[in-house]
Amino acid sequence: MLNDWRTRLILIAFSGIILLFIVAPIAGLLLRTSPAEYSTTFQDSEVTSSIGLTLLASMGATIIFGILSVPLAYLLARKDFPFKGLINGIIDVPVVIPHSAAGIALLGVISRGTWVGQAGEAAGISFVGGVAGIVVAMAFVSLPFAINAARDGFAAVPEKLEKAALNLGASPARVFFSISLPLAKRSVISGLVMMWARGLSEFGAVIIIAYHPMITPILIWERFTSFGLSYARPVAAIFILVCLAIFITMRVLSGKRYHVRN
Amino acid sequence: MLEIKNINARLGDFRLRNISLELEPGDYLTVLGLSGAGKTVLLEVLAGLVKPETGEINLDGEDISNLKIQNRPFGLVYQDMALFPHMTVRKNITYALKGKGLSNQEQGNKTLELARLTRVEHLLDRHPGTLSGGEAQRVALARTLASNPKVLLLDEPLASLDVKLRQELRELLKKINQTGKTIIHVTHDPMEAATLSKKIAIIEKGELIQWGKPEEVFRNPVSEFVARFSGIKNIFPCTFEKTSEKNGLFHGLTKNKITISCLDDPGKDAAHLMIPGEDIIVSKERLETSAINQYKGIINEIYYLNHGVELIINVGEIFSVIVSKRSVEKLSLAPGEEVWLSFKASAVKIL
């Protein structure tokens, strides 16, 4: 079917439209920002500290919550237990609900009036209007990416390899760290990268919990509503470039695939 | 001594039923059966990968039925090897040596010793994905031997190998067995079983049909399945009339109305009669011999084999007879030729 030139033309045209749909706005944004605007914005300490905060908060969310979610991903991939389908569904809830609603929901758990909020305050951690709140909000909306990718990665590891390792006398913990995790590594890292990237771009949930300190998506929004497009665009362009650079680097470094002999 | 008592296991719709076996230390048992007969499930039950519903596994007097996989002294080599793809051959072999109180030097020496035994020392720094089937099979064997199991469980270890590699691995398995290691080897190839085993067990649809020394099983198959599976031909379903006994002989009638006389009482109205191909005499004329069963027929086909010539002869039923090449030349046997077949009633076995 693909040999038919008309079919090929349609396939190429449709693919081109979709790619253009993704690339054109971003390319337009980057190209319409002048070198002078880039230079000035780079020297704006509010912008650089906001980008630094966004990167670190998302990374913190990924390291703390993403890594904590690996055992759950493994359980979902390997074990059968009651309500497993329900749990899989629950994991996807943060993706399907409006993120401002997610922020409101989180506020109900971590605000100062709740025991979590009070416990945080007692430990010197302020969720509302604090970095910890940003981390929690970012983690809440981006965690499904990490769990789903890791679960699929573990499920793709042949169970036979784990059983072979057990048969060789290895403990279940050793099997997990020497066989399951290294073989699912690519998916786990890919999920963590996606979680981190999704956390970077979070706006709705974070603005409910912490307007300040200001993460970059909120800074872009604030500049747009207060000063207009020309002030928001350079910040957005620089933030996109930073995210793309880190995202591509991590993708490249996320490891190689192994051929499993069958 | 390994005692397997009344093992019943369920895996999906498949059931393994009442498997009981006994092996002496250093035994080489081949488990023969068709695909899906339950051979691999039996190995998995022994290795602890499948939990049996009932039954007991005793090794040297100790009940090990409830031991965890990692604590069982059974080393399983999977049919598809299950080598760890992210580790080199060296790390695959060393895997079982970790956590056993051996120094790095001792682990290295042991790895090298096993690699030499299995002739994979030149592959130690390669990854499994780059190995041929034979190489991967030998690495899998070395890795399992590294865990020093009391019983080695092999799942179709020769299945994916060419003739030369099969021969090499067969010799290696014999060598390992000669060191005193008990081996349970699953295969669907009767030749493999005959050349390697001290004992064979035949499994059909999850049940152990027959087990014992190879010569006993192949000479005295207890059922048509065992006989056919063992490569034995000339098996005929026959009916017997109650009055078929005459002069100490019993006369069975095949589907195509050929009468075959035997010495043993079938004890029922219908039974399968088997005549080993090597017990049948082929001649150009009817012989004046003590052989009761004599039939005239036509040679349908002639097949030249490694160990002789197989004649397919139609006497109303199709017989397979093995003769020497010299006999073929001497009697000028050729397809379409008329010949006589004769065999004694004592050569006829009832299944």
B243 pLDDT above the threshold of 70: no
| Contact between A163 and B82 using a beta-carbon 8 Å cutoff | yes
* Cβ-based contacts of A170 with chain B (< 8 Å): 70, 95-96, 98-99
pLDDT at A255: 57
B97 pLDDT above the threshold of 90: yes
Which of B202, B229, B256 is a domain's end point?
Answer: B229
A133 and A17 co-located in one domain: no
What is the distance between the alpha carbons of residues B89 and B143, in angstroms, rounded to a whole number?
A: 9
B219 and B270 co-located in one domain: no
Which of B183, B209, B229 is a domain's end point?
Answer: B229
| Contact between B128 and A161 using a beta-carbon 8 Å cutoff | no
A18 and A49 co-located in one domain: no
B215 and B345 co-located in one domain: no
The residue-averaged pLDDT of A201-207 equals 94
The residue-averaged pLDDT of A61-90 equals 94
Could you tell me how far CA A181 lies from the centroid of its own chain? Answer: 20
CB atoms within 10 A of CB A97: 15
A131 pLDDT above the threshold of 90: yes
Nearest Cβ partner for B86 among A164, A182, A262: A182
pLDDT at A254: 66
B205 and B110 co-located in one domain: yes
Provide the CB-side half-sphere exposure for A33 (13 A, CA). 24
Nearest Cβ partner for A160 among B68, B78, B96: B78
Q: Is residue A93 part of a domain?
A: yes
B264 and B205 co-located in one domain: no
For residue B242, what pLDDT band results from cuts at 50, 70 and 90? low
What CATH number is given to the structural domain containing B248? 2.40.50.100
Q: Which helix (H) or strand (E) holds B22?
A: strand B14-23
A216 and A89 co-located in one domain: yes
Q: What percent of chain A lies above the pLDDT cut of 90? A: 83
* Cβ-based contacts of A160 with chain B (< 8 Å): 78, 80, 82
Q: Which domain holds residue A20?
A: 1-31
A24 and A49 co-located in one domain: no
For residue B274, what pLDDT band results from cuts at 50, 70 and 90? confident
B104 and B246 co-located in one domain: no
Between B292 and B219, the higher pLDDT residue: B292
Q: Is residue A258 part of a domain?
A: no
Nearest-Cα residue of chain A relative to residue B75: A167
| Contact between B76 and A170 using a beta-carbon 8 Å cutoff | no
pLDDT at A103: 94
Q: In this predicted model, what pLDDT tens digit does every residue of B1-30 receive, in sequence order?
A: 899 999 999 988 899 999 999 999 999 999
| Contact between A161 and B69 using a beta-carbon 8 Å cutoff | no
A4 and A96 co-located in one domain: no
For residue B229, what pLDDT band results from cuts at 50, 70 and 90? confident
B188 and B269 co-located in one domain: no
How many separate domains does chain B show? 2
How many separate domains does chain A show? 2
For residue A256, what pLDDT band results from cuts at 50, 70 and 90? low
Q: In this predicted model, what pLDDT tens digit does every residue of A167-187 receive, in sequence order?
A: 999 999 999 999 999 999 999
B221 and B252 co-located in one domain: no
Q: In this predicted model, what pLDDT tens digit does every residue of A104-124 receive, in sequence order?
A: 999 999 998 899 999 999 999
Nearest Cβ partner for B49 among A163, A171, A262: A163
pLDDT at B272: 85
B66 and B190 co-located in one domain: yes
Q: Is residue A259 part of a domain?
A: no
A58 and A178 co-located in one domain: yes
In DSSP notation, B202-231 reads: EEETTEEEEEE-HHHHHHS-SSHHHHHHTT
Instruction: List residues of chain B with CB under 8 Å from any CB of chain A.
Output: 47-49, 68-72, 74-76, 78, 80-86, 95-96, 98-100, 127-129, 131, 136, 143-144, 146-147
Nearest Cβ partner for B69 among A166, A182, A259: A166
Q: Is residue A261 part of a domain?
A: no
> What's the whole-number average pLDDT of chain B?
89
Q: Are the C-beta atoms of A188 and A86 separated by less than 8 Å?
A: no
A84 and A12 co-located in one domain: no
| Contact between B70 and A166 using a beta-carbon 8 Å cutoff | yes
pLDDT at B258: 92
Q: Which domain holds residue B111?
A: 2-229
The residue-averaged pLDDT of B331-350 equals 91
B241 and B214 co-located in one domain: no
Nearest-Cα residue of chain B relative to residue A186: B86
Q: Are the C-beta atoms of B342 and B294 separated by less than 8 Å?
A: yes
The residue-averaged pLDDT of A155-177 equals 95
Nearest-Cα residue of chain B relative to residue A259: B129
Contacts of B302 (CB under 8 A, 6+ apart): B309, B310, B311, B312, B328, B333, B334, B335
Between B67 and A246, the higher pLDDT residue: B67
Which of B229, B253, B270 is a domain's end point?
Answer: B229
A226 pLDDT above the threshold of 90: yes
A165 and A120 co-located in one domain: yes
B177 and B317 co-located in one domain: no
B155 and B255 co-located in one domain: no
For residue A262, what pLDDT band results from cuts at 50, 70 and 90? very low
A110 and A238 co-located in one domain: yes
Q: In this predicted model, what pLDDT tens digit does every residue of B125-153 receive, in sequence order?
A: 999 999 998 899 999 999 999 999 999 99
A89 and A216 co-located in one domain: yes
Q: Are the C-beta atoms of B294 and B345 separated by less than 8 Å?
A: no
Nearest Cβ partner for B128 among A167, A174, A261: A261
The residue-averaged pLDDT of A234-244 equals 93
Nearest-Cα residue of chain A relative to residue B79: A262
Between B241 and B102, the higher pLDDT residue: B102
CB atoms within 10 A of CB A256: 7
pLDDT at B234: 86
Q: Considering Cα of A31, then A35, then A40, then A46, what sign does the dihedral take?
A: positive
Q: Highest mean pLDDT range out of A206-210, B232-236, B265-269, B277-281?
A: A206-210
Comparing CA positions, the residue from A199, A195, A201, A234 lying closest to residue A218 is A201
pLDDT at B155: 93
pLDDT at B206: 92
Q: Are the C-beta atoms of B40 and B203 separated by less than 8 Å?
A: no
Q: Which residue type does B230 have?
A: S
What CATH number is given to the structural domain containing A113? 1.10.3720.10
A4 and A52 co-located in one domain: no
pLDDT at A3: 67
What CATH number is given to the structural domain containing B193? 3.40.50.300
> What's the whole-number average pLDDT of chain A?
92
A1 and A70 co-located in one domain: no
Q: Is residue A39 part of a domain?
A: no
Q: Is residue A193 part of a domain?
A: yes
Nearest Cβ partner for A163 among B69, B83, B127: B69
Between B133 and A221, the higher pLDDT residue: A221
The residue-averaged pLDDT of B66-83 equals 93
